[in-house]
Amino acid sequence: MKISDAWITQPETQAVCRVLTDAGYQAYFVGGCVRNALLRTPVSDLDIATDAIPQKVIDLSREAGLKAIPTGLDHGTITVVSGHIPHEITTFRHDVETDGRRAVVAFSAHMIDDAKRRDFTMNALYADPKGEILDPLGMGIDDLSNRRVRFIEDPDLRIREDYLRILRFFRFHAWYGDPFGGPDPEALAAIAANLDGIGSLSRERIGAEMRKLLAAPEPAHSVASMRMTGTLARVLEGGDDRALGLLISIEQHFHLAPDSMRRLACLGGDGHGLRLSNDEKRRLAVLRDGIGSGEAAGVLGYRHGAEMAVSILALRAAMLEQHLAESDVAAANSAADQKFPVKADDLMPDLQGPALGARLKQLETKWIASGFTLTKAQLLA
């Protein structure tokens, strides 16, 4: 089995590999870039594992004229930039001590040590600079081929090393797992036994994982498993996933791109356990308020724009277990292009201050009620 994608053969990346191999060290692509290449999905991050210690990576890179940045020196990671392309190079490691949030590591000269400390078997696949695949644990290729997300060796130990792996499991199952085969039962049992560990995680880490999970094309099966194990209640108090499957069906019918905030609004619950940006908070508030506002499709389109209006309409339909009417989507899209024809200058100087604002609002309400048909002259008359 071999990878021959453009990212692995590009001169800039091959130059980084030669920096290590020409000096007698190992260089293997690992993790997401290998996994995604084998799944024929886009590759974004380039991670390289090596037996060279971090300072040696820095020295060799700089001698070759490449920029070396000690982005994660405590964990053995150096970012080497070649042709504006970042490559994260990490020394083979094994865990010395873990507390469920972070690990103390020791460097190793052996790939097998590095493989055993990873989370899932599909993430313990390596590729040499020529693209030849190595599966040191002997199960990663089979699990990836069967879309089976499994912890490496003992699930309970892997989770207690880092409790974020609970959420990573559901996220990986949403993106890479077989939805019809269901999640690994041993993993689910270990997760259910370690739910208290979620309380030790920061809101930033939880929020980041939930956003990635909910951005998957079809996360409903994974979120249902979260509910059944008790995980959903721990990260989203009061959350309910019953309408999520129907929302995703509506999204697919109307070709709506997956949106984590739209899906989070569908789950409801108290989102304070997730660290959201101010923009995300505002978007979530508009979506949740719009569900129960009762505003017609055209009004939503005019006030919030087409994308937000259709998102609100999709959420309403899913919550009520109904189909979303094509006519409502058309009305929202059409209204989004409407421009209120009356300006403040049209009412001045006869009206000023609060009176002017009240009159503009009154005329706008009348114009919306007419289906956006009244002209400026009709409104002013």
Number of H helices, E strands in the chain: 20, 9
Positive or negative torsion for Cα 319, 217, 162, 193: positive
Task: Answer whether residue 191 is part of any domain.
Answer: no
Is 98 in a helix, a strand, or coil?
A: strand
Within 8 A by CB and 6+ apart from 1, the residues are: 38, 132, 133, 141
Task: Answer whether residue 270 is part of any domain.
Answer: no
Question: Could you read off the pLDDT tens digit of each residue along the chain, which spans 381 residues?
Answer: 899 999 999 999 999 999 999 999 999 999 999 999 999 999 999 999 999 999 999 999 999 999 999 988 878 999 999 999 999 999 998 876 665 566 667 899 999 999 999 999 999 999 999 999 999 999 999 999 999 999 999 999 999 999 999 999 999 999 999 988 889 999 999 999 999 999 999 999 999 999 999 999 999 999 999 999 999 999 999 999 999 999 999 999 999 999 999 999 999 987 788 989 999 999 999 999 999 998 999 999 999 999 999 999 999 999 999 999 999 999 999 999 999 999 998 888 888 899 999 999 999 999 999 999 999 999 998
Task: Answer whether residue 291 is part of any domain.
Answer: no
Query: Exposure of 270 by Cβ count < 10 A (0-12 exposed, 13-18 middle, 19+ buried)?
Result: exposed
Task: Answer whether residue 3 is part of any domain.
Answer: yes
What per-residue confidence (pLDDT) applies to 103?
63
Within 8 A by CB and 6+ apart from 343, the residues are: none
Is 345 in a helix, a strand, or coil?
A: helix
Domain boundary among 117, 146, 175: 146
CATH number at 75 reads: 3.30.460.10
Task: Answer whether residue 218 is part of any domain.
Answer: no
**What does the DSSP assignment read for 189-218?**
HHHHHTGGGGGGS-HHHHHHHHHHHHTSS-
pTM: 0.89
Task: Answer whether residue 264 is part of any domain.
Answer: no
Domain boundary among 116, 146, 176: 146
Per residue in 231-285, pLDDT tens?
A: 999 999 999 999 999 999 999 999 999 999 999 999 998 778 898 999 999 999 9
Q: How many separate domains does the chain show? A: 2
Euclidean distance between CA atoms 289 and 322, whole angstroms: 19
Domain boundary among 112, 146, 180: 146
* Structural domain boundaries enclosing 351: 341-380
Task: Answer whether residue 182 is part of any domain.
Answer: no
Task: Answer whether residue 326 is part of any domain.
Answer: no
Q: How far is CA 115 from CA 31, 133, 285, in A?
A: 10, 14, 43
